[in-house]
């Protein structure tokens, strides 16, 4: 494609917000065309702002995936929800994603009530349309547009990709004129260490159940390029209690082995390098109240 003239270039930040589990991260990955943000069937998977960058004609679209917005209880929850709302202040456009299958629930209502205060134009995305019939979608779109003046409404399936191209085309002509902010071939600004920690956290979420995923965090401690072109990565999984450490390890170390194997394969694919992954599991009681852990995650530490 011919290079656009400097004066025709556009660039903008597009915040993807919504209740937990509506498919924001899946949508970010579909829009960028690569796996940037982790996805699981569990709520509250995304913990911090994750940027993914896509080019569309003369426009550079910088998508910001955010933690799901819900009524927070713990300090970590408050930090996550706070970061999601903070993303809307810097955004040129805000995309509100709704799970069309679930419809409008309490968390969505609470978001809608606060969305009026957001200055940026808002775009409504009804996601998971592969799971619902058309008449349901039209009713949902009408009801939501009565509450908030959305600039446009899109019906998509982030999983199948249905409708994603139209959404992207719309966004590309609605971000402001201006120079591109990242090199054209860049698709993320997350450091590799963070990406690798996120991948391991995804495997933890997929493998472990109930409260355990929410009481764990993953940090990359060592990243060493080896002479043979491989990389040695050491990560620590922090949990709250000894009983949780035992579950993460599993009988005869089976659980941690499976988590490590799955994470290693995905990290190697993401960085296109062979990986030797070493996982440590440490009990750090009250890590959810430790400012250092928030710094590692890239979250503000809420005072209470």
Residues of the shown chain interacting with ligand GTP in the complex, contacts defined by CB under 6 A = 18, 20-26, 39-41, 43-46, 67-68, 127-128, 130-131, 157-159
Closest contact distance (angstroms) between CB of 38 and ligand GTP is: 7
Residue whose C-alpha is closest to residue 70's, from 39, 114, 117, 118? 114
Measured from the CB atom, is 64 or 231 closer to ligand GTP?
Answer: 64
CA 247 to chain CA centroid, nearest Å: 26
29 binds Mg ion per the rule CB under 5 A: no
Closest contact distance (angstroms) between CB of 285 and ligand GTP is: 25
> CA neighbours within 13 Å on the CB side: how many for 240?
10
Closest contact distance (angstroms) between CB of 234 and ligand GTP is: 26
159 binds, among ligand GTP, Mg ion, none (CB under 5 to 8 A by kind): ligand GTP
48 binds, among ligand GTP, Mg ion, none (CB under 5 to 8 A by kind): none
Q: What is the largest CA-CA distance in the chain?
A: 62
Within 8 A by CB and 6+ apart from 7, the residues are 177
87 binds Mg ion per the rule CB under 5 A: no
The CA distance from 295 to 76, in Å, is 12
Give the other-Cβ count within 10 Å of 136's Cβ: 15
Residue 90 burial (CB < 10 Å; 0-12/13-18/19+)?
exposed
CA 230 to each of CA 197, 198, 263, 280: distance values in angstroms, whole numbers, following the listed order: 17, 20, 15, 20
Piece of the chain touching Mg ion by CB under 5 A; list 23-31, 72-80, 160-168, 220-228: 23-31
Q: Which residue lies nearest ligand GTP, judged by its C-beta?
A: 68
229: left (phi over 0), alpha (psi -120 to 50) or beta: left
Closest contact distance (angstroms) between CB of 65 and ligand GTP is: 7
Binding string, residues 41-70; x marks residues near Mg ion by CB under 5 A: ----xx------------------------
Measured from the CB atom, is 21 or 236 closer to Mg ion?
Answer: 21
Closest contact distance (angstroms) between CB of 274 and ligand GTP is: 28
6 binds, among ligand GTP, Mg ion, none (CB under 5 to 8 A by kind): none
123 binds, among ligand GTP, Mg ion, none (CB under 5 to 8 A by kind): none
Piece of the chain touching Mg ion by CB under 5 A; list 24-32, 136-144, 183-191, 193-201: 24-32
Residues that bind Mg ion (CB under 5 A): 24-25, 45-46
């Amino acid at each position: 494609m011919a290079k656009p003239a400097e004066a025709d270039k556009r660039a903008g930040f597009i915040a993807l917000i919504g209740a937990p589990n509506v498919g924001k991260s899946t949508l970010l990955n579909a829009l960028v065309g690569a796996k940037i943000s982790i996805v699981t069937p569990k709520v509250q998977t995304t913990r911090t702002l994750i940027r993914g960058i896509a080019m569309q004609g003369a426009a550079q679209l910088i998508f910001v995936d955010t933690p799901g917005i819900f009524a927070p209880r713990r300090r970590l929850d408050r930090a996550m929800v706070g970061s999601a709302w903070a993303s809307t202040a810097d955004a040129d456009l805000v995309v509100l994603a709704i799970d069309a299958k679930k419809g409008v629930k309490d968390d969505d209502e609470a978001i809608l009530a606060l969305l009026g205060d957001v200055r940026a134009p808002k775009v409504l995305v009804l996601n998971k349309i592969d799971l619902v019939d058309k008449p349901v979608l039209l009713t949902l779109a009408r009801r939501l547009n009565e509450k908030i003046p959305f600039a446009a409404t899109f019906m998509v399936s982030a999983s199948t990709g249905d409708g994603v191209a139209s959404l992207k085309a719309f966004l590309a002509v609605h971000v402001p004129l201006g120079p591109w902010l990242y090199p054209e071939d860049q698709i993320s600004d997350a450091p590799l260490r963070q990406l690798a920690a996120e991948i391991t956290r995804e495997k933890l979420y997929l493998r472990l159940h109930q409260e355990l995923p929410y009481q764990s965090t993953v940090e990359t401690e060592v990243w060493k390029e080896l002479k043979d072109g491989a990389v040695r990565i050491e990560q620590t999984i922090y949990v709250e209690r000894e009983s949780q450490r035992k579950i993460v390890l599993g009988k005869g170390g089976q659980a941690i082995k499976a988590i490590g194997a799955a994470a290693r394969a995905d990290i190697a694919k993401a960085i296109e390098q062979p990986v030797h992954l070493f996982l440590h599991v440490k009990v750090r009681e009250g890590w959810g109240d430790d400012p250092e852990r928030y710094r590692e995650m890239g979250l503000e530490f809420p005072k209470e």
